[in-house]
Amino acid sequence: MSAQRVVIGVDSSTQSTKAVAVDLESGAVLGEGRAAHTVSAGSGRESDPEQWWRALGDAMAGTGWADRAAACSIAGQQHGLVTLDAAGRPVRPALLWNDVRSAPQAAALGAAFGPADLAHRTGSVPTAAFTSTKWAWLRAHERAAADRVAAVRLPHDFLTERLTGKAVTDRGDASGTGWWGPDGYDEDVLGRIGLDPGLLPRVLPPGAPAGAVRAGMPLREGALVATGTGDNMAAALGLGLTPGRPVLSLGTSGTVYTVGRTRPVDPSGTVAGFADALGGWLPLACTLNCTLAVDRFAALVGRDREDVEGGGTAVVLPYLDGERTPDLPGASGLVHGLRHDTTPGQLLQAAYDGAVQALLGALDDVLRAGGEDPAPDEPLLLIGGGARGTAWQRTVQRLSGRAVQVPDIREPVALGAAAQAAALLTGEPADAVARRWGTAGGRVLDPMPRDDDTLARIASTLRRARALQEVPPAQR
């Protein structure tokens, strides 16, 4: 009997690192590890990359297979700006995707090129979430730190390079920077923001190994390491996603995406034209405010997150950290339509409704951008930390009017990374590995009649509130 072969997949997210050890043949999860991160609560959203490295070691050790795994891959939160000195140490804490301080730089970049040109060049119209705008912010506000930078990395690049010593990345995560397109790094965009392309990692082709684990690392020396990718690209791999199947992910951020047959180009900026981790595309829309914002409303009204009530006229725009979709980086949360008989449970349900409406409002645009028919003939795949919550599930059913499928797997990002690692050993495409493992299976929730009245009430409130939301807080 041949020895069991095991791979490890890692999800280094905003709040924590999660690792899964997976049997190469069956896809059975043999062990799991987890370690928490901290995020600054000041004017921006920052994290020390060194804590990600420590968390990576702890999470891998927690699987029980770190000393025996044949291969690994790391998926990470997209867009984060990791700046390293000549010794490979962080110059400053990483600027995370949900740090919106670079909104003026995003506007300046859009004005310099025009939204249509940027969308054609890089697939997206960068917002304050994108890495390109964060680098421009750093040069404008911390020039001394920027001048010390010898390497610029994304979160997953930083961890992969620590393991292997190789400065490499993949097309999926690179496509979220705002400075990469199908022909490689865009030197005109890099010149505009003052970034030397020599500071960037090499973009490897899909399926290529990043290298092997060096001695003294938190994983067996010599184990193969895949290129890794961004978290959304890894989740698409982990689900074995096929073109046109829509995914709604409920986490710190909310995302809706699909695998597209054509390259997405959306000058409106609603749809980000990302590449996937293979050779295709991953049109995606993202909101900054999702599960954490709703949990904050639950705390404010003194209710458990599942303790919602229907009815009422309240509308909540839960833009507690500004917002990305719609593009309102200076926005704050808004509550409208309160009455004497409004209950705490109704207000909490309105927060769920506001978060879900923002994602569903972009779903048809995402499907069309990928060359797909937006007709609701397939269930929405619901993933992320919120996917198992009854209130989240019922809100998505009610506002989408579609069937909803909740996969049994709990860590699609880490499983997608594991599939990417397994592909190094088997020669299969990573999404084919996931389909062989049967990762997308799970119960299907029947559709409900779509609640058009609530959708119309939210849309009307947003139209009337938009002028206020576009005013930066300091000018109100």
Between CA 23 and CA 27 the distance in angstroms is: 5
Angle at 388 between CA 243 and CA 352, to 5 degrees: 90
In the residue annotation, 231 being an active-site residue is answered as yes
| Rounded Cα–Cα distance for residues 118 and 405 (Å) | 35
Among 99, 186, 231, 276, the active-site one is: 231
Q: How many CA atoms lie within 13 A of 110 on its CB side?
A: 18
179 CB-near residues (< 8 Å, 6+ apart): 122, 131, 132, 185, 186, 189, 190, 193, 195, 200
Q: Are 461 and 336 in contact (CB under 8 A)?
A: yes
Nearest 5°: the CA angle 118, 413, 68 is 130
21 residue type, one letter: A
CB contact at 8 A, 40 and 47? yes
Q: Diameter of the chain by CA atoms?
A: 71
The CA distance from 54 to 43, in Å, is 25
Half-sphere exposure in the Cβ direction for 62 (13 Å, CA): 17
Distance CA 258, CA 378 (A): 12
Contacts of 222 (CB under 8 A, 6+ apart): 212, 213
At 153, which helix (H) or strand (E)? strand 151-153
The C-alpha atoms of residue 97 and residue 99 are separated, in whole angstroms, by 6
Instruction: Report the amino acid identity of residue 186.
Output: D
Six-digit token string for 187: 């030197």
Residue found under tokens 């639950």: 298
Which residue's entry shows tokens 């293979």? Answer: 278
Instruction: Give the catalytic positions in this structure.
Output: 231
